[in-house]
Amino acid sequence: MPDNAVLLEIKNVSKEFPVKKKKLYAVSDVSFTLSRGETLGLVGESGCGKSTIAKMIAGSLPVTSGSITLDGVEYTHMKKKEFAKFRRSIQMVFQDPLSSFSPRMRIGTYLCEPRVNYDHVSKDEAMAEAEELLAKVGLPAEFLMRYPHELSGGQLQRVAIARAIAISPKILICDEATGALDVSIQNQIAKLLVELVEENNIGCLFIGHDLALVRSVTQRVAIMYLGRIVEFLDSETLQEEYMHPYTEALLDSIFDVHCDQDEDIKLLAGEAPSPLVVHNGCPFAQRCEYCTEQCRYQLPELSHVNGTHYVACFNPLKR
C-alpha cells in the first residue's frame, strides 16, 4: 500500500506539437500526484495523450508548460548531462517487448548493461545480480544465455521488467505493458508488477486501454479524454461511484463472459474532435447524451467530490 509520501508531482503540464501553421494540443493542463508504493492507472482511448504524458515524465519529450517534480527535484529544465544521471530514477516498460531488445544481445548482457553503465560494477558481479533479477520475475537462470527470439512474449516482458528495476528506479512507467500479451499472461505480468512496486516501495504509472485490468492492479485511476483528465477516483470504488459519462462509456465497453447475450451493446457514438482545434467547451460534449448549452461553450474544471474523487462535468451522473 502507498505510504502517502508524494513521490511524483505533475503540475499544470501541457504539450503542444507544431503541425504546419497550426498546433496540435496533445496534453492540456494535466495535474496529478503519485505516492511511494502506489500504482496509478491512466486510461483512455488511443490519441488521448497517455503516452505523451509518459514520455514527458521519462524526459524523452520536453514539456510545453508546467512542471514535473520527482522526489522533490523539478527536472524538466535540467541540462542534458545532469539529466543523464537523473534518468536512472525513471524507467519504462513498453508494449512490445521485442522492440526494446537487440536481437544480437543475450539476455544476460541485456540485464547487466544498466548496472555496468550506471554503477560501473564488474561484469561478473552484474551477471550474478542478473541471475537474481530473473529469479525475482520468475524465470530460470539458464535464460541468461538465450537470445530474445528464443523467449515468448510474456517471458520477454518479464525480462524487460527485470531490467527496469535493476538500477532501483524511483518510478516505473508501464506504457501498455500488457497490451500485446495473451489474457492469461496479462494477469501474470500485472500481478508481478504489483508485487514489485510494493516490495521496492516505488511508484508505478500503469497506462492502458483495458479499464477492467487497470482497476484490478491500481489504487487510483485517472480517466483521460482528448488530452485532459476528466475523472479521478479510487479503483476499488470505480464501478459504484463513477460520475463522468465518458467513464460510463469505458465501463460499458467491458464484456463479461456471463453477460446477457441478447442485451444490446452500448456504443459510444462519433469520434473524438480534432486536437488541432482549441475547444471552448467540454471536449466530450459532441459525444455526450447529457450535453447542455453550458457544456458546449464552457470548459468544466476538475471538481472535488469526496476523498480522492474528482470529476470535470457540469452534469455528473447521480450515483
Task: Give the pLDDT of residue 3.
Answer: 60
Residues with Cβ within 8 Å of 235's Cβ and at least 6 positions away in sequence, in order, are 41, 214, 215, 216, 218, 219, 220, 221
CA distance 232 to 223: 6
Position 148 scores a pLDDT of: 93
Q: Residue 319 is placed in which grid cell? A: 450515483
Residue ranges matching CATH 3.40.50.300 in the chain = 1-103+151-218
pLDDT in tens, 21-68: 889 999 999 999 999 999 999 999 888 999 999 999 999 999 999 999
pLDDT of residue 319: 60
CA distance 47 to 33: 22
Please report which helix (H) or strand (E) contains residue 14, including its range: strand 6-19
Q: Collect the ranges in the chain with pLDDT lower than 50.
A: none
Per-residue confidence (pLDDT) for residue 256, from 0 to 100: 65
Burial 287-316 (b: 16+ CB within 10 A, else e): bbeebeeebeeebbebeebeeebbbbbbbb
CA separation for the pair 271, 293 (Å, rounded): 20
CB-based contact 238:215 (threshold 8 Å): yes
Write down the pLDDT at residue 273.
80
Angstrom distance (rounded) from CA 133 to CA 119: 16
pTM of the predicted structure, to 2 decimals: 0.90
Q: What pLDDT shows up at residue 178? A: 79
- CB count within 10 Å of CB 55 equals 17
Helices vs. strands in the chain: H and E counts, helices first: 10, 12
Amino acid 216: pLDDT? 87
Q: What is the per-residue pLDDT for 202?
A: 94
Determine the CATH number of domain 1-103+151-218. 3.40.50.300
Question: What's at 313, amino acid-wise?
Answer: C
Handedness of CA 278, 280, 282, 287 (dihedral sign): negative
pLDDT at 16: 95
The per-residue pLDDT for range 112-132, each reduced to its tens digit, is 998 998 888 899 999 999 999
